[in-house]
Amino acid sequence: MPLVTSTEMFRKAYEGGYAIGAFNVNNMEIVQGITEAAKEVNSPLILQVSAGARKYAKHVYLMKLIEAAIEDTNLPICVHLDHGDSFEVCKSCVDGGFTSVMIDGSKHSFEDNIALTKQVVDYAHAHGVVVEGELGKLAGIEDDVNVSEEDAQFTNPAEVEEFVERTGVDSLAIAIGTSHGAFKFKGEPRLRFDILDEISKRLPNFPIVLHGASSVIPKYVDMINANGGNMPGAQGVPEDMLRKAAGMAVCKINIDSDLRLAMTGTVREYFAQHPDHFDPRQYLSPARANIKELVKHKIINVLGSNDKI
């Protein structure tokens, strides 16, 4: 099975009322945990790589790890650049074998976002690669994605048709109240499903992408806090809201923070229980196993992409 684009995945997901999980990968244990889970429940997958991940692990290592996972599992996998912020980084991922790239021009003006996105689409499409654009700004802080709450803004539905038409993007990330990281809501979680609904009416049969979609699973936050960590107030997107979005026009749901929390919680607990251990294989094995369990749970209970190959 070669690498695939997300075109067919999204078409089926839209029709079937489910979503494809787009999981961020940074090292071997994460790639293995995710792909072993998807294999067991027969799910298509998007593995996404951020600029920070490319800096940390190097493009070639991540690409080879993903190729190894495909050989091992025979799954249809799409490799996607997460939050590309320039034509150059998108081009380098297209040239380097990715089947999908995101150009995140959301920090620019509408016109500049269109011009940049169209430049990436022209290059990517000429090489058989699909493109995700973004309209609206998510709040949140991770390594290379940093937008303050004051700068965040919901997607304006009145702009989406013109954006898609003039850029030629294959999918569109929108802002409806999710944010990156582990602290997504101060009070009651709220998403603007009315905006999603309006966008899907204006863009019939068009795949929408939800970033910042980790649920910040309490089990792993508790594991962190019980073992020397300090993450009071961590809160994510409730699973029933994600299921609702997956039943609407959302075909791609981005998950990174949940993987980080599962890995960190597991490693913290391991060291609390085995303070004298120092073999990385000993603490990374349970971390990988918990990533696998987490991804299986997401696929079956949140995304609904199991048995869709």
Active site residues: 82
Q: Which residue among 84, 136, 177, 181 contacts ligand 13P (CB under 6 A)? A: 181
Quick one: which H or E segment has residue 173? strand 171-174
Q: Which does 213 bind (CB under 5 to 8 A by kind): Zn ion, ligand 13P, ligand G3H, none?
A: ligand 13P
Q: Which of 94, 256, 264, 287 binds ligand 13P (CB under 6 A)?
A: 256
257 binds ligand 13P (CB under 6 A): yes
Q: Show the tokens assigned to 192.
A: 């603007």
> Which of 243, 255, 254, 240 is closest to 291 using CA atoms?
255
Interface pick for ligand 13P out of 4, 93, 213, 249 (rule CB under 6 A): 213
211 binds ligand 13P (CB under 6 A): yes
**115 in Cβ contact with 57 (< 8 Å):** no
**How far apart are the C-alpha atoms of 116 and 87, rounded to whole Å?**
7
From the list ligand 13P, Zn ion, ligand G3H, none, which binds 255 (C-beta under 5 to 8 Å, kind-based)?
ligand 13P
Quick check: 116 and 136 in contact, CB under 8 A? no
For residues 209 and 289, the answer to whether their CB atoms sit within 8 Å is no
Q: Which of 214, 264, 266, 306 binds ligand 13P (CB under 6 A)?
A: 214
Q: Provide the residue count of the chain.
A: 309
Of residues 147, 153, 149, 117, the one with CA closest to residue 134: 117
Per partner kind, with CB cut-offs from 5 to 8 A, the member of ligand G3H, ligand 13P, Zn ion, none near residue 53 is ligand G3H
Question: Which of these ranges, 64-72, 118-126, 205-213, 283-291, lies near ligand 13P under the rule CB under 6 A?
Answer: 205-213
Q: How far is the CB of 25 from ligand 13P (least distance, A)?
A: 11
Closest approach of ligand 13P to the CB of residue 279, in Å: 29
Amino acid at site 222: D
Q: Which residue's CB comes closest to ligand G3H?
A: 143
- Are the C-beta atoms of 123 and 87 separated by less than 8 Å? yes
Residue 83 C-beta: closest distance to Zn ion, Å: 6
Q: How far is CA 205 from the centre of its chain?
A: 21
211 binds Zn ion (CB under 5 A): yes
Using the contact rule CB under 6 A, the part of the chain among 3-11, 251-259, 280-288, 294-302 near ligand 13P is 251-259
Q: Provide the pairing of β-strand 146-147 with 139-141.
A: antiparallel
Q: Given the complex with ligand 13P, which of 190 and 201 has the nearer CB atom?
A: 190
Closest distance of CB 181 from Zn ion, Å: 10
Which two structure tokens, joined as six digits, stand for 85? 């912020």
**Which distant-in-sequence residues (6+ apart) come within 8 Å of 148 by Cβ?**
139
Phi–psi pair at 20, nearest 5 degrees: -95, 135
Judged by CB under 6 A, which of 82, 85, 134, 170 binds ligand 13P? 82
Asked if 255 interacts with ligand 13P (CB under 6 A), we say yes
308 binds Zn ion (CB under 5 A): no
**138 by DSSP, 3-state: which?**
coil
Told to check if 306 binds ligand 13P by CB under 6 A, we report no
Q: Does 174 bind ligand 13P (CB under 6 A)?
A: no
Binding residues (CB under 6 A) for ligand G3H: these are: 24, 50, 52-53, 82-83, 142-145, 180, 256
Structure tokens at 23: 């999981």
Q: Is residue 180 involved in binding ligand 13P (CB under 6 A)?
A: yes
Of 208, 103, 199, the C-alpha closest to 160 is 199
Q: With beta carbons less than 8 A apart as the criterion, state whether 161 and 202 touch.
A: yes
Binding residues (CB under 5 A) for Zn ion: these are 211
Binding residues (CB under 6 A) for ligand 13P: these are 24, 82-83, 180-181, 211-214, 254-258
